[in-house]
Structure 1
């Protein structure tokens, strides 16, 4: 009898865990390139208007870039930024400290978008917000194209874009 009760409780708990997909654990993949975008908790000591955090894995360069989503003054559209090593490790001087760069032009703060049920709108960042099926980071690909990462990331005709598709949650 107890086994049946335990089995029933276990079966009810598993779907609840699988459905717990939020912006703190969603994982996205670039459809045409080996790039992964994973959301994480906002760092404890971040700007007060930072509402989301993510990292971008560039597989060909073995680099992980750190990204942030901010809402200026708390009422505008969510804007994204990203920073990481200025050059891929294979092109960096041996023994030199790693210099970090932002990869958007100065004064360029593009909005971040999500696709929800086939409709594209600003990324929802409030508590309990739905996890979008896609994340769109306008200007990401072009910003990295005009950097040292062009030599390592755009190999063999890879066509990298700005959209990432939900793969699951960690």
Structure 2
């Protein structure tokens, strides 16, 4: 009886933990490249309309890029930006997506919509950052981050939650 109770408790604990997967503790891997994405707390000195922050690790270059999600005027579609060293070992910081801002999307059970970046929001199955791959392709990271047989896109898929 004790074993059954302990087994039931473990199963229930696993179900609760699985249900607590939020953008704050989710980890994502790029579908084709070796890139990783995870959300982090919004920096204290961030712009007032910044609603989320994330990092993208580029392991081949050994670089971490800093991303931000904003809501223009406090509402509307969430837009994103990303910056980091202009090249491996560089102290100069570059913005990698120039021009008009792009919306950030989430795939929630097969339905794609704007990323729900509210504190404690459930983690989407995928995070979509339009124009990310093209922006990195035309950067100094092209040589290290793009494999010859990979056509990297803009999708990161959920791998787990901490």
Q: What TM-score does the superposition give when structure 2 sets the normalisation length?
A: 0.89
Shift of 1:25: 1.3
Deviates further, 13-22 or 160-169: 13-22
Match of 1:162 in 2: 154
Shift of 1:3: 8.6
Match of 1:45 in 2: 45
Match of 2:20 in 1: 20
Alignment length, in residue pairs? 162
Shift of 1:26: 1.1
Match of 2:131 in 1: 139
Do the aligned residues in 2 keep the contact of 1:23 with 1:52 (CA within 8 Å)?
no
Task: Give 3-state SS (helix, strand or coil) of 2:150's partner.
Answer: coil
Shift of 1:74: 1.1
Q: Mark the runs of 5 or more structure 2 residues left unpaired by the alignment.
A: none
- Aligned-partner Cα distance in 1 for 2:130–2:77: 14
Please tell me whether residue 130 in structure 1 is matched to residue 127 in structure 2.
no
Do the aligned residues in 2 keep the contact of 1:51 with 1:125 (CA within 8 Å)?
yes
Do the aligned residues in 2 keep the contact of 1:52 with 1:70 (CA within 8 Å)?
yes
Matches within 5 A, 1:74-85: 74-85=74-85
Q: Mark the runs of 5 or more structure 1 residues left unpaired by the alignment.
A: 93-97
Please tell me whether residue 31 in structure 1 is matched to residue 31 in structure 2.
yes
Q: What TM-score does the superposition give when structure 1 sets the normalisation length?
A: 0.85
Which of these two proteins has the greater Rg computed from alpha carbons?
A: 1
Match of 1:95 in 2: none
Q: RMSD in angstroms over aligned alpha carbons?
A: 2.0
Task: Give 3-state SS (helix, strand or coil) of 2:130's partner.
Answer: coil
Task: Give 3-state SS (helix, strand or coil) of 1:151's partner.
Answer: helix
Match of 1:120 in 2: 112
Task: Give 3-state SS (helix, strand or coil) of 2:84's partner.
Answer: strand
